[in-house]
Structure 1
């Protein structure tokens, strides 16, 4: 989960304070910054806002972090789909990062889908597979940032672009139903292909017949 900090800086010779708002930052850093600001005599009205718009005091955020310490959090998903038109098969790749306590984990997985009609459908299948991985990890009620290089999938899921193709609409419905079932707060981020190399490689390996699933703790 990411947070924004809002607080007022009070100058010594001014009656009116100056209001500050931070960028979105990870929960651990937000809490650390809040602890530092609390020690200062020139800051007041410190409040935290999460990505759902809920506000938290420093005391409430401390308690929340203690409760979440052993729960998986800070999920980031990279997805990509490759497509063979001749065989109507799609190789999909997913890379999932998350934290649990002070440990960081990475899951790498691919899969082969049949009877796929387009590259866009392959991309949708990749994202759906990522959601299935989250379900297998028993993930619920978290924020998940999804990163991919498919503008079509990301913009249609955000509702910015319409979806007229019946086959894509079926995937869209399945994905939205899964998100609702898992109570996920989704953030969609478009990235370039160079930033999505790991998921792309997994998709290619799937089309080559190489099945991969791994979960490892990162140093």
Structure 2
């Protein structure tokens, strides 16, 4: 969850002025705001997220307490593969997240028949990840998506245009689900090596191996 701070600062002689910060993680904003409040010179502080929802200091503290009990600090790796000979696609996603002070990893794959290209498979894999987030109960939070498909990442990030109807339909479906769940998505193109977990899941789906697992990640295992 990212917010910006808008505050009114009052000097010892009673002169007021306003400040607005850049977007930052809500926990960081809360720490800064609490430190500023100790000066006794802050008249008002308002926190505003990327959907223009607003909180005061007390409300943001409560919001962060509620978030701690829900999935947060979420990273989704996704990958899709397409076999031209069989016309089958394999989808894979690996989701890392925190909840109640613990770190978890969810792995999911699926095989589908109705797709026609590798780019469609990549979109479908990301969509699979979003559906799993919905099942986890993730909502109104920032989520990072990482994959090795420059087409999908750059189109969803608005960097590249999307002219193909099939891909545009997938993009619309995903963006509608983001809006429905209140997810603020960020995207990163990663190497195939860094995306090997999702790639393996997609390959296993193409081989007829179905996988769904969730487990706690212990300290030292990496995130």
Matches of residues 47-58 of structure 1 in structure 2 within 5 Å?
A: 50-52=49-51, 58=57
Deviation (angstroms), 1:194 = 2.2
Corresponding residue for residue 191 of structure 1: 190
1:139 matched to 2:138: yes
In the alignment, is the contact (CA less than 8 A) between 2:4 and 2:20 conserved in 1?
Answer: no
- Return the alpha-carbon distance in structure 2 between the equivalents of residues 67 and 115 of structure 1: 40
Deviation at residue 35 of structure 1 after TM alignment? 5.0
Normalising to structure 1: TM-score of the pair?
A: 0.78
Aligned length: 216
Q: Deviations over 1:40-76 (max 9, x none)?
A: 7999987766444656554443222223231222222
SS at match of 1:71: coil
- 1:207 maps to 2:213: no
CA distance in 2, matches of 1:40, 1:22: 21
How far, CA to CA, are the matches of 2:172 and 2:110 in structure 1?
21
Q: Which residue of 2 aligns with 1:81?
A: 80
Counterpart position of 1:182: 181
Equivalent pair of 2:70/2:137 in contact (CA under 8 Å): no
2:64 matched residue in structure 1: 65
Gaps in structure 2 of 5+ consecutive residues: 8-18, 219-223
DSSP 3-state at the match of 1:194: coil
1:6–1:22 CA contact under 8 A, matched in 2: no
Judge conservation of contact 1:79–1:95 (CA < 8 Å) in 2.
yes
Secondary structure of the corresponding residue to residue 193 of structure 2: helix
Structure 1 unmatched runs, 5+? 8-18
| Cα distance between partner residues in 2 of 1:218 and 1:33 | 30
TM-score under structure 2 normalisation? 0.77
